Chains A and B, each alone.
Chain A
Amino acid sequence: MNWAHKDLIGIQELTPAEIGHILDMASSFKEISKRDIKKVPTLRGKTVVLLFYEASTRTRLSFEIAAKRLSADTTALSQSGSSFSKGETIMDAAHNIMAMAPDCIVIRYPYAGIPKKMARILPCSVINAGDGFHEHPTQALLDMYSLKERFGSLKGLDVAIVGDIMHSRVARSNVYGLTKMGAKVTLVAPKTLLPPGVETWGARVSTDLDRVVPHADAVMMLRVQRERLNERFFPDVREYSTFYGLNRRRVEAMKPGAVIMHPGPMNRGVEITHDAADSARSIILDQVENGVAIRMTLLYLSLGGAVNVD
């Protein structure tokens, strides 16, 4: 397949064939990380700037390792996202960075839309590492990869996504991706955390986790942000975890072979208990491992382009 995209902004812009291509390619990149010398010269001489305007450890590290294993030079820039209303705007920052001729900018940003704007204006590749509650495409791709690795195919797979759907870019990107690949998605949350128009997303919606858990092949728990509690989306942690947390009882109700996922970082004791997080069903660390392979694939496709690696 010839890769036609300079950028990766969202799963919305990808076709099922393109998603399939990424997932297929990721296997060969995953193999590199298992070698003794975990480095190939593929992107030698390319510069990747990691621009993180929002706290992130895992995603940033994952991109950085991915780029380094492909021999790209990386520079990471982290800034708190609180003072944009004064001084340099993000687009000014983007133009300044562009003047230093990077080949790719990976951006994590607290508000929706900026990766899209950057991609339109800048000649280099732009990879969205999460913008506001818009999209987080590499997370969805690594989730899909992890599911495919476990189940062989995404078609017909029954995936439950549980928690703060309203403020989750991970949920959005996963719904777009999984439904494109033929999986059945059920979103589970109290109505206060379901976004407007969620019924148009092509996923089923439920407020009752206990009815969803027994038939799911995978249960993906979303992180509950502390500020949602302050904003009174639910009364308290005790009530939330009772109705929407994954605990031992619910894990036992899952069907044989079903898996537990979490994009991290986990709030143990809130959306997931210790025994659920550490149970044999958990593929949470597989997700992290596969994240590197997915990001290597995307850096390769965006920067290197069109060659078939297998």
Chain B
Amino acid sequence: MWIKGGTIFDPVSGTAETGDIRIKDGLIEGVYPGGKKGSSPDAVDAKGLWVLPGLIDMHVHLRDPGYEYKEDIVSGSRAAAAGGVTTVVCMPNTDPVNDNPSVTQYIVQKAAREALVRVLPAGALTRELKGAELAEMGLMKAAGIVAVTDDGRSVESAAMMRRAMEYAATFGLPVITHCQDRALSGEGVMNESALSAKLGLAGIPAASEDIVISRDVLLAGYTGIPVHITHVSTKTGLDLIRQAKQSGVRVTCDVTPHHLLLTEESVTGYDTNAKMYPPLRGEEDRRALIKGLKSGLVDCIATDHAPHAQDEKDLDFDLAPFGIIGLQTLLPAIMQVHREYKIDFIDLLKKVTVNPARILGIDGGTLTPGSRADITLFDPQATWVFGEDAVLSKSKNSPFLGRVFNGRVVRTIVAGRTVHQA
């Protein structure tokens, strides 16, 4: 198979050149800047398109097993494919929790049979995410997990967190941490601010996130074990991470597209699609995230794709579950950040390809010959509306519904096979 005439973005070399790509046996056989003679019956004309390594989203909730009414491995992978995401790391807060190798095997086997993209499970740090006993990390790793996390909550005790990090490091498993002091978050449902008080909604102070970020980078520094902070949303949180990085602590982080594009103002109409954890913060925090992207402080962009059914999101703002979907809007959101804030597209691309691959210790995220033929073709000129009918997830809980985006995924290839075509 050939992909001909597109602009090929290589996040490894940091270049973007027009050329051809040849795919053979699910791998990239060659990349030919300037083009090369040769074609195939299934050749793809990529003139005017951007040719990207398939995206890696390191923070996705596929809800399978247990909450298949929200999403399952198949529907989630369909949404991923439509978003140009060829690898998803799925979080362990399923039912049962992915804290043992049987659940890991179920996910891996179902994904192998039915998923359109590569699904890599993350296992729990602690049994049932309760923060009390270590999960079977070694056995889960043998069954196919690529990272460990108690995402959705923080390990409450610093002693337990330290032990879990040390145990994870025994098996070379990266630790992803969701930072939230549960007691300080309390009954909060949005960012704590003058606006939350005005809306009559209980607030989640930024300090709830910052305190645990601070604890976890201190533990990383003390133990020498790397830690990845997911969905950072505060300026102070980023400051803590910057200081840690500067003093040599092995800490990395990601931010979500919604925290880059939206603020707490979105909550004003009590729209439950503006309810997620961490909550949408103020403009100063949002600006700090953009700045962190630009400076390279922020390593990755991940969606925290969190499907919830309509009847759950139809509840009162206080009662509706936290979370929004994001797989299909990831790349368009990145495009918007690129245009609005003049950040090199290729720098942003690294944050959804080579950087997560490096942090997770997985292949993919590159177009280097010999690597997996996971490729996303992106039309940078296309303008489209993200309407409900475009949503391929089982759930449609997105704050971006109705938004006009520039740039659209037109074809997604996983291991040499086209899995999505617009």
* Residues of chain A whose beta carbon lies under 8 Å from any beta carbon of chain B: 12, 84-85, 89-91, 109, 111-114, 116-117, 131-135, 166, 169, 172, 195-198, 200
- Which of B12-20, B133-141, B313-321 lies at the interface with chain A? B313-321
Report A-chain residues with C-beta under 8 Å of the C-beta of B196.
196-197
User: Which of B196, B198, B311, B316 lies at the interface centre, i.e. has the most chain A CB atoms within 10 A of its CB?
Assistant: B316
A113 touches B319 (CB 8 A): no
Task: Please measure, in the bound complex, the distance between the C-alpha atom of A135 and the C-alpha atom of B376, giving whole angstroms.
Answer: 50
Please name 5 further chain A to chain B contacts, defined as beta carbons within 8 Å, in addition to the given A113-B317, A117-B269, sorted by A numbering: A113-B200, A131-B200, A132-B200, A166-B197, A195-B197
B270's contact among A85, A117, A197, A198, by CB below 8 Å, is which?
A117
A197 touches B315 (CB 8 A): no
B316 touches A113 (CB 8 A): yes
Task: Please measure, in the bound complex, the distance between the C-alpha atom of A109 and the C-alpha atom of B205, giving whole angstroms.
Answer: 25
A112 touches B269 (CB 8 A): no
Q: Interface readout for B195-214 with A: 1 if CB under 8 Å, 0 if not?
A: 11111110101000000000
| B292 CB to nearest chain A CB (Å) | 25
B311 touches A133 (CB 8 A): no
B201 touches A132 (CB 8 A): yes
A196 touches B192 (CB 8 A): yes
Q: Contacts A90-B316, A91-B314, A196-B193 known; A113 to B199 CB distance under 8 Å?
A: yes
| B320 CB to nearest chain A CB (Å) | 9
The 8 tightest CB contacts between A and B, nearest first, are A197-B194, A134-B200, A113-B270, A112-B200, A195-B197, A111-B318, A111-B316, A133-B200
The majority secondary structure among interface residues of chain B is: loop
User: Which of B193, B195, B197, B317 lies at the interface centre, i.e. has the most chain A CB atoms within 10 A of its CB?
Assistant: B197
Report B-chain residues with C-beta under 8 Å of the C-beta of A132.
200-201, 318
| A180 CB to nearest chain B CB (Å) | 15
| A79 CB to nearest chain B CB (Å) | 14
Report A-chain residues with C-beta under 8 Å of the C-beta of B199.
112-113, 134
B194's contact among A111, A131, A200, by CB below 8 Å, is which?
A200
Report A-chain residues with C-beta under 8 Å of the C-beta of B192.
196
Q: Contacts A85-B319, A89-B311, A169-B200 known; A112 to B194 CB distance under 8 Å?
A: no
A135 touches B315 (CB 8 A): no
Task: Please measure, in the bound complex, the distance between the C-alpha atom of A107 and the C-alpha atom of B317, giving whole angstroms.
Answer: 17
Task: Please measure, in the bound complex, the distance between the C-alpha atom of A133 and the C-alpha atom of B198, giving whole angstroms.
Answer: 9
A135 touches B197 (CB 8 A): no
Task: Please measure, in the bound complex, the distance between the C-alpha atom of A85 and the C-alpha atom of B269, giving whole angstroms.
Answer: 20
**Closest B residue to A112 using CB positions:** B200
Task: Please measure, in the bound complex, the distance between the C-alpha atom of A1 and the C-alpha atom of B320, giving whole angstroms.
Answer: 40
Report A-chain residues with C-beta under 8 Å of the C-beta of B195.
197
B200 touches A197 (CB 8 A): no
Report A-chain residues with C-beta under 8 Å of the C-beta of B317.
111-113
Task: Please measure, in the bound complex, the distance between the C-alpha atom of A91 and the C-alpha atom of B314, giving whole angstroms.
Answer: 8
Report A-chain residues with C-beta under 8 Å of the C-beta of B205.
196
Task: Please measure, in the bound complex, the distance between the C-alpha atom of A113 and the C-alpha atom of B319, giving whole angstroms.
Answer: 12
B200's contact among A85, A135, A196, by CB below 8 Å, is which?
A135
Task: Please measure, in the bound complex, the distance between the C-alpha atom of A90 and the C-alpha atom of B270, giving whole angstroms.
Answer: 14
Q: Contacts A84-B319, A111-B318, A111-B319 known; A196 to B194 CB distance under 8 Å?
A: yes
Report A-chain residues with C-beta under 8 Å of the C-beta of B318.
111-112, 132
Report A-chain residues with C-beta under 8 Å of the C-beta of B197.
166, 172, 195-198
Q: B231-270: which residues lie under 8 A (CB-CB) from chain A?
A: 269-270
| A271 CB to nearest chain B CB (Å) | 21
| 9 A–B pairs (Cβ distance < 8 Å), ordered by A | A12-B198, A84-B315, A89-B311, A89-B315, A90-B316, A134-B200, A134-B201, A196-B194, A197-B197
A89 touches B193 (CB 8 A): no
Task: Please measure, in the bound complex, the distance between the C-alpha atom of A172 and the C-alpha atom of B203, giving whole angstroms.
Answer: 16
B203's contact among A196, A198, A200, by CB below 8 Å, is which?
A196
Q: Interface readout for B119-141 with A: 1 if CB under 8 Å, 0 if not?
A: 00000000000000000000000
Report B-chain residues with C-beta under 8 Å of the C-beta of A109.
316
| B30 CB to nearest chain A CB (Å) | 57
Report B-chain residues with C-beta under 8 Å of the C-beta of A196.
192-194, 196-197, 203, 205
**Closest A residue to B314 using CB positions:** A89
A172 touches B200 (CB 8 A): yes
